[in-house]
Amino acid sequence: MNCDYTLQGIPDMVVKPKTPEEVSEILKVANKYGTKVIPRGNGADLTGGAKPIGDGGIILDVSLMNKILDVDLQNRIVTVEVGISWSELCEQLSNVEIGYYPGSTGPASGFSATIGGGLSNNTVGGGGAAMYGAVTEQCVGLEVVLPTGEIIDTGAKANSFRDKPFTRFGLGADYSGIFLGDVGIHGVKTKASLNIYPLPEFRGYATYVVKKTKEKSAEKRASEVMLKWQHQRLPLHDFFYYTPSTVSGLTSRKIAKGLADNKVRGAILYYTTVADTQRQLDYNIERIEKIAEEAEFRKLGPTVEEGNVGKWFYEEDGKWQWGNSMFGGGSLFGLSGCLKSPTELLPEYGKMYADWVKRNLPKMAEVGAGGGADFVAFGVYPTYIDVAGGAAVISNIDNREGQVELWKDYLITQIKTLGGIHYWMGEIIGRALVDSGALTEEYYNFMITLKKALDPNKILSPGKFYLTDNY
């Protein structure tokens, strides 16, 4: 399902290739006739990454390219077609001998989001983010069809005498990086090779209630603990902070039934950790929980029914469900803006969100927004956080222009106030970076130069960052 809130362009056609060679032929024909092409996975993006800007052109849907091609246990590398979903990849890898997984398990929409989409957005979503980082950190090579139709390999397989990938670096510059986080403007990824890791036999988790004090906000208290966890390099698999209003939303809607049944109020912080032996796990838990205990956080019971969201997150596919309130469904959409931030700025983000809501309450009421903006923050390897949030609106075509203006104001506030580093770079956020002045003239000209060299006929994902408007 495409959860993208931005206005949908209507393409002339949708094509669903099954091979890189078919992708190449499509792009060659598109170059000949000057037809725009927009690569698409399963359309789980929220910010205009998988849709045309304006009408016309070809949607190039790679969802039929969805096979696991090779599992190299010697080098612990899996090679896949990019149309496979994160959940399908994880499911199949878990059945390989002792069981494996690709470190970070993709975004919260990973039940349907594809590998190609995750790599195109530098996705961070949990399921190993604190231990292994964003999904692009695990990529050791790509097969890419360039906008002009040539097919190349990056990483070790760029050496024509190498039959299997094993490292992303070594043959000059990191050319894989040009196509990671590019939201489909530099080429069409068709295959990807990722590191894989054995599924740990032992895991532990706990959930804490974090109350504000007279001296400190809940965000300040949580960030102090999160920083200690990260600075001491403790073996955290994931850790998440939910604001008081997020917890209220989860309990009122019975999404987190254990929190609701136990009448949990205030913010929560939960962690997961993994180990290969019980002794190692006990040692991990002792060190992690000592820091939370010294901060005087109240620990909830060990079961999901007692409010242990950490256990739900790890054992009940919560890694793909924690963000479901952002997707809304039906007529409810999120004006979303996920970004990366230094961990110590968590309190400042709490203040920024509150100030933005206060400033925009009249406008929010006017365009059908829910009257608030909220976020979740979680740890990412090695020492930063992802701040994922947005404001809920009732989609109404009569209010669409005002809603988009509100969204842009929200994004530019994030960009300007604390220098937030967005990684969902569809139409709305990519253009907000340009409109806000965040990109220096020199940096933007470099982006134009690169785009022009790769896509001289302006056919691939035109309009993102306004790049093809400027050459």
Average pLDDT over residues 356-368: 90
Q: Which of 6-15, 53-62, 166-175 has the lowest mean pLDDT?
A: 6-15
Instruction: Write down the pLDDT at residue 306.
Output: 95
Instruction: Write down the pLDDT at residue 278.
Output: 97
Buried-state track 277-292, b at ≥16 Cβ within 10 A, e below 16: eeeebeebbeebbebb
Token pair, residue 99, equals 């069981």
Whether 470 has a pLDDT exceeding 90, the answer reads: yes
Q: How far is CA 64 from CA 1, 17, 139, 399, 444, in A?
A: 15, 7, 21, 36, 35
Map out the domains of the chain with their CATH numbers. Answer: 13-61 (3.30.43.10), 68-198 (3.30.465.10), 202-320 (3.30.70.3450), 324-435 (3.30.300)
Cα atoms in the 13 Å half-sphere on the side-chain side of 447: 20
DSSP for 94-107, please give it.
TTSTT-EE-SS---
Instruction: Write down the pLDDT at residue 50.
Output: 83
Report the alpha-carbon distance of residue 326 to residue 107 in Å, rounded. 12
Instruction: Write down the pLDDT at residue 326.
Output: 57
Kindly state the DSSP code that residue 448 receives in the 8-state scheme.
H
Residue 89 in contact with residue 72, Cβ under 8 Å?
no
pLDDT range class, residue 7, cuts 50, 70, 90: low
Average pLDDT over residues 438-457: 98
Residue 245 in contact with residue 372, Cβ under 8 Å?
yes
Average pLDDT, the chain: 91
For residue 301, the tally of other CB atoms under 10 A from its CB is 14
Which pLDDT tens digit goes with each residue over 140-196? 999 999 999 999 999 999 999 999 999 999 999 999 999 999 999 999 999 999 999
Average pLDDT over residues 411-425: 91
Q: Which helix (H) or strand (E) holds 422?
A: strand 421-422
Q: How many helices (H) and strands (E) does the chain have?
A: 15, 19
pTM: 0.93
Residue 366 in contact with residue 403, Cβ under 8 Å?
no
Conformational region of residue 82, where left means phi above 0, alpha means psi within -120 to 50, and beta covers everything else: alpha
Q: Which of 46-60, 202-216, 325-339, 442-456 has the lowest mean pLDDT?
A: 325-339
3-state DSSP call for residue 465? helix
pLDDT range class, residue 331, cuts 50, 70, 90: low
- Cβ burial, residue 23 (10 Å; 0-12/13-18/19+): buried
Q: Which helix (H) or strand (E) holds 259?
A: helix 257-261
Q: At what angle do helices 218-231 and 346-367 cross, to 10 degrees?
A: 130
Instruction: Write down the pLDDT at residue 429.
Output: 92
Max distance between CA atoms of the chain, in angstroms, equals 67
Percent of the chain residues past pLDDT 90, beyond the cut: 75
Residue 112 in contact with residue 45, Cβ under 8 Å?
no
